[in-house]
Structure 1
């Protein structure tokens, strides 16, 4: 009769089972407490029971949470115990496995030969329902879980729900969690706050909500010692940088490797598009008082990093704010050396802009042997050759030019080759004399001189397509 009268779904049965386990745990807790009182033990030695967390690998539970099905979530999570269960997921990940049968070899030999293969290895991850729903922006589901007693700051799997909501730029869930009392400065297992995880342009609103809730803008991560400002500067998030500076972010703080936020911005500025974003972030930092000469890891200054990434406009920005153009890094390389290497790494960059900026701010002409690095960039090669009073004799750059490129730019290459060890025109020598007199202020001073535009461009090593 009961079977005909009541229909128990699988979710209802699961809920009843969890409730029964909870009651059993409660009975054990009360019995232990009673036994402790009977023995008249001091409070420090009384038996303590930790509230158990149930683990769940049920696909139905996973499906409800990861799809944001509110009706299923409401049916499955009806009390505090279920709302705080541990959800386990297993995924296959590629892992490198050394070749078997090599147990008699030393680690150095194995590393040298590098033999092995990639294998799919199952990896179990743990989290809680609130973290899953908050990370995916399922606000209604997250609200239901909170109302059922989900712990707001539970750090299962390394991060709390607020961390994941910030990392995924789910500003509505960030607002929900903070409204119900989530801690704005809660730490992950890595020692980072939610503000450290606002790393996407869409996370700006979440960052504002965190700061309004009392997030510490200069909080230093435990191991890396990075601040939120370091994080957003490295990603070229100009609006985030401005927001943090408005809330008192300190531009002089350094990471465990000695990097300032400006170092981080310049180090990650790779490619033309990325360079523009990081240039805007760097400008914000410089206007806030960041030191353009601050050396970080391996004594790389922001200018070293900008040049290594081939970012001419960013390098010019740093030079205008006092960056030193001839300072060496730990390896003895100047920014010009880094710029020459960048030409090889990024064939799509426009190195002539970068070389001209460095020379206008006082960089020394490169050693003739280094001209080979830009032999296949005729515009850049012209700028470098015009820094000499006489085209130096050097066969290495001539031999490095690709035949098809020589044919395409034959007029330039032939003019350069014909002027090797030959007297240059008087106007070129006069140009070098004026540039030497202006020194590292060449670009700023030339802009102030009452000169015709053509003459001003000539002084600043305008590319003409031939060497005279």
Structure 2
């Protein structure tokens, strides 16, 4: 047939071709979207060896929907499992639990239905996360695959470590579980050891070759970052003894010290985080590394109002007046949160910063600061006692809500009385001594032959009123 030959198409044929072209275009679009999703998935999966295949076989494990078997697994009924899996039987299968969250699922081209979202699991996952060690041992003896991960890509070892089940973790490791398996979330088992009770799991993982410098895929956290962020001093000590790099940065440019200082923590956790920071600094952590916003660990510790950590960082050379990208010093951070973290004793943070030479608030901005910090009168007291003169005006009175004034009437009456009364001679003498000893306060004052009460007064200890 010559190149100039042509076909004559009917209108019906042309319409059919157009429909075919539209269908091909939709197909190409679907394949492109699927390819993008697959690429993201593959980046998070370091090993594809944990497919839905039984060890040494070519067929995928069966899906078990038998409620008797599921009940025995979820309740840890060892005798029932022995009957269900006698010797020479195999316990390598997948569980599809009933229930779950509802979600829209594509059931055909252009068709969607509301269905239950099922998260697949395995007998090993169920028994490992619940601490049923005897049941877990039986299943392993019956050939259950330790690397099977049909749900969110987490292995049974991930489950055991996350649930703080060291005996189960050791069983899995002794039967060949990969201590460096990566879940679909990009986490190794060491990354899910986030509770104090998971210490023994972490120890077992390291003994079986877990990578102490293994990084999570998205955040690029090392196990030391995770332990520091969750305030786990014993984990931090363990990881440092195994050679963890103390100043390695994650995706946010945070070192483990920065991660510990930046993570929000409750008042009852302050001591744990202080101990973590002590260990990191003793191991050589630097107090100066900055994140993307040029914040130092001191900025972050002030935002969390951890007075002991602030004092520790300052004692180790942290810059009290370092500015972040937004032009804010550590003092700004503590004044922003003082009212919300009164249980953390924010006044101690302000006291430490001032004693180490922090810049003070511009006097004209004090009414604004008072408005934000009035719920923590001790913070206000320490801050204002760093000034030899105060110009108290009606704006100061208006900055304190009536309910706060009622709760702390004695203090605020003493403050507002300064509108008519100058500061006391005692306070003026304190200010003069502090100016003279600027930069040397904490070295000199404890050595002065003065009563402890006067030394504390010089260092801005709070008394509950201003004079």
Q: TM-score, normalised by structure 1?
A: 0.78
Tell me the equivalent position of 1:370. Answer: 369
- CA drift of 1:63 comes to 0.9
The 2-side partners of 1:49 and 1:136 are apart by: 28
Q: Does 1:72 align with 2:66?
A: no
Q: What is the alpha-carbon distance in structure 1 between the residues aligned to residue 125 and residue 317 of structure 2? A: 46
Q: Quote the offset at 1:243 in angstroms.
A: 0.9
Identify the match of residue 183 of structure 1 among 172, 178, 184. Answer: 178
Q: Secondary structure at the match of 1:91?
A: coil
Query: Using the alignment, how far apart are the partners of 1:372 and 1:394 within structure 2?
Result: 13
| Shift in alpha-carbon separation, 1:457–1:128, aligned structure 2, 3 A | same
CA contact (8 A) 2:90 2:143 kept: no
CA 1:178/1:90 → structure 2, altered by over 3 Å: closer, same or farther? same
Deviations, residues 48-105 of structure 1 (Å, cap 9, x unaligned): 9932221122222211111111222233345888522111124333779xxxxxxxxx
- Contact conserved, 2:298 with 2:318, CA < 8 A, in 1? yes
Shift of 1:302: 1.7
Query: Which residue matches 2:448?
Result: 449
CA–CA distance in structure 2, aligned partners of residues 378 and 435 of structure 1:
22
- Is 1:332 the counterpart of 2:327 in the alignment? yes
Q: Using the TM superposition, give the Cα deviation of residue 437 of structure 1 relative to its aligned residue in structure 2, in angstroms.
A: 3.5
CA contact (8 A) 2:97 2:118 kept: yes
Instruction: Say which SS state the counterpart of residue 138 (structure 2) adopts.
Output: helix
C-alpha distance in 1 between matches for 2:332 and 2:184: 41
Question: 1 CA distance for matches of 2:184 and 2:72?
Answer: 27
Over the residues paired in the alignment, what is the CA RMSD in angstroms? 2.5
Picking from 129, 132, 135, the partner of 1:138 is 132
Total equivalences in the alignment: 398
CA distance in 1, matches of 2:115, 2:326: 41
Q: 1:60 aligns with which of 53, 63, 68?
A: 68
Aligned runs of 1:237-256 on 2, under 5 Å?
A: 237-256=232-251
Aligned mate of 1:51, from 56, 59, 71:
59
- Mapped to 2, the partners of 1:439 and 1:278 lie a distance apart of 30
Q: Name the residue aligned to 1:86.
A: 94
Q: Is the 8 A contact 1:391 1:421 kept in 2?
A: no
In structure 2, what is the equivalent of residue 106 of structure 1? none
TM-score, scaled relative to structure 2: 0.79
Distance 1:195 1:335 in 2: 33
1:413 corresponds in structure 2 to 412
For 2:76 and 2:409, how far apart are their aligned partners in 1? 65
Q: Is the 8 A contact 1:376 1:400 kept in 2?
A: no
Q: 83-92 vs 220-229, which deviates more?
A: 83-92
Pair 1:83–1:218, CA change in 2 (3 A): same
Q: CA distance change for structure 1 residues 156 and 444 in 2, over 3 Å: closer, same or farther?
A: farther
Gaps of 5+ in 2: 1-55, 105-113
Per the alignment, residue 282 of structure 1 pairs with: 277
**Higher mean C-alpha displacement, 410-419 vs 250-259:** 410-419
Deviates more, 1:50-59 or 1:156-165: 50-59
Corresponding position of 2:351: 356
Say whether 1:222 aligns with 2:217.
yes
